[in-house]
Amino acid sequence: MSGNLIGQEPIGGRKTLALAAVLAFSIPAHAVEPVLNTLGQAGGLVIPYAFALPEGTVEAQYNNYIDPRYGKQATGSQMHWGAVGLLPYVELSGGLANYPANVPAPFSNADHFLFRHLMGDVKLEVPKFFKYQPSIAFGISDIGGQTHFFRSKYGVVSQAFGPVTLTAGYGQGDRLDGLFGGAQVSLWNTGLSLLAEDDS
């Protein structure tokens, strides 16, 4: 005796699909490891987090982030960054920001830049003294030199709750000036995250 299976759903098909979806989305998700933000500090998109790069970690980055303060003048940007977790709780980074613009060149045959700027950043994370202490860090961005397009001093607190990382801080200076904060949600084990930030 033969039966016609055309157009029929395999037995248990929906149950199998539902079980696979539950298993895929029930895999524990954890907060992501610290990575450089667009301004060369371990953090989210543009704000620093209180997590310093782990000791011995070296990262390099290139991006084309344009600070909103210069968005109407700059025609683009090239941001080059390098950072290292030098000691436990110490992060050092340095970078070069090129902001080309339709402005007069300072001398003949020179490039037309709004600015070309070298930067150095330092972040110090406070050691954890008790079990549920959030991560706390203090930092200075764009230290040294006579020009300071991105200079800021800040204090920041970050706490991971499983796949969610919450951050709040306060900064003073050119780049961070007031309260800032954000939330990052790690999307399971995909390496992707959702972020929401306010950088004062």
Q: Which domain holds residue 147?
A: 29-198
Examine residue 119 and state whether it is found in any structural domain, yes or no. yes
Q: Are 146 and 61 in contact (CB under 8 A)?
A: no
- How many domains, the chain? 1
Examine residue 22 and state whether it is found in any structural domain, yes or no. no
Q: Pick the range with the lowest mean pLDDT from 21-25, 114-118, 154-158, 189-193.
A: 21-25
Examine residue 75 and state whether it is found in any structural domain, yes or no. yes
**Model pLDDT for residues 40-98, shown as the tens digit of each residue:** 999 999 999 999 999 999 999 999 999 999 989 999 999 999 999 999 999 999 999 99
Examine residue 63 and state whether it is found in any structural domain, yes or no. yes
Examine residue 8 and state whether it is found in any structural domain, yes or no. no
How far, in Å, are 4, 45, 119, 147 from residue 116 at the CA level?
73, 22, 10, 10
**Model pLDDT for residues 120-152, shown as the tens digit of each residue:** 999 999 999 998 899 999 999 999 777 889 999
Examine residue 10 and state whether it is found in any structural domain, yes or no. no
Q: Which amino acid is at 148?
A: H
Say how far apart CA 171 and CA 159 lie, in whole Å.
18
Which residues are paired to 175 by β-bridges? Answer: none
Examine residue 190 and state whether it is found in any structural domain, yes or no. yes
pTM for the full predicted model: 0.78
In this prediction, residue 113 carries a pLDDT of 84
